[in-house]
Structure 1
């Protein structure tokens, strides 16, 4: 690891010499401190790391995220982290905009740990982030050394929205109240330990459905529950139709990491490990 990487990735000296997860503080390209956790592969050395991007109001230490990390760690190394404004990370949530920089920092940390191949999986807001991240950090797209280190070799988006500002369900209307109203942001901070930025997007970031056509040749998997109370099934169908992608519509599944069972997580891990760009 070079001096610049040493400055951006601060790991715990205690956890680095003991078995089990290693904690680190990452610094994004815009200077936000992000908490991250590395869980080594349970079966020994692995050349692939799975970077997990949680949903809105989640965090690296939330039970559903730890459960997913435990399942994925049966097959690969795992990086979990808390988006800005969540958990012990600094900054304020921009609800999917600058969170792409948080994910890029986590991917770069995985590479600094020696993983030859890094893949991403995101849930809900994290699903929109992994899509936009893969679109920006794609082969040949204004690529310098930094963007190459931040690139993913495969991406899975679970319970992701297709478009911004969706208010078609009662849960999403509550989410918009949480984000856009002062009282809602107070509830987010006190009730969900999520600090939300008060400013509107300017400019509006690339939407998930606009990002999908830019991701190829990176393999893309769209996973969605047919009982998702936040985003109905037109969202995954829009995403899958926008570019080369596999679509898994899961019968009886609800929303995001809380609804993803261990069997589904194992299938996602197998897909991420096997996925390769089309010849």
Structure 2
């Protein structure tokens, strides 16, 4: 009688066992990838929040030293576009009081204008630079050096353009509800994903309205308020499907986000960015 075992060879594996083992490895790799991605996203959010908070502190310090006057949202040039605001403009007298020059200087860094004048634009995209945000999809290589592409922008509804084409910067004291009023927000870059058809102007300008709000963290983004606190919000909490900015009376219960110095001013009345 042949009593030899006809099962798997001693010390070997059946095909089924190998397939099961491979499947387990694939599942574990997928879980590891998801956890790693989640940890990286969380770290990017933490760093972005701190960077924006630091800008906010410099913003308030600047107003204290300038009789309450706010820094400008961009170069004081009528009808300037995002593409126009290059390194040369950033180094011009018209941009001397722009936030992207005065705030880095207060924080011990070269101004954006100085980076251009010194022919060191690559330093704008250094992880340590105050306006650089981890996780923002900047252009690669030489393309991003064409001009400064901002991943954070100053709220463009704080300053109104007069009939002469120039903007009055306004004062910190003129912001009537500092706890609810936004001063900085994550703003869209050309390569950012838009999570609403109402989002637009993802052009890396140094200023931004809610339609240019970038939602890089699980479809949410960071807002900084005048009093120094931050909130992480979805774009649907800021604008309607039509692109209209949601005013406080139309916001969800418990939410009060203001974009203008006077909360009674309509943020939708400002010209397009």
TM-score (norm 1): 0.25
Larger Rg: 2
Which of the two has greater strand per residue?
1
TM-score (norm 2): 0.26
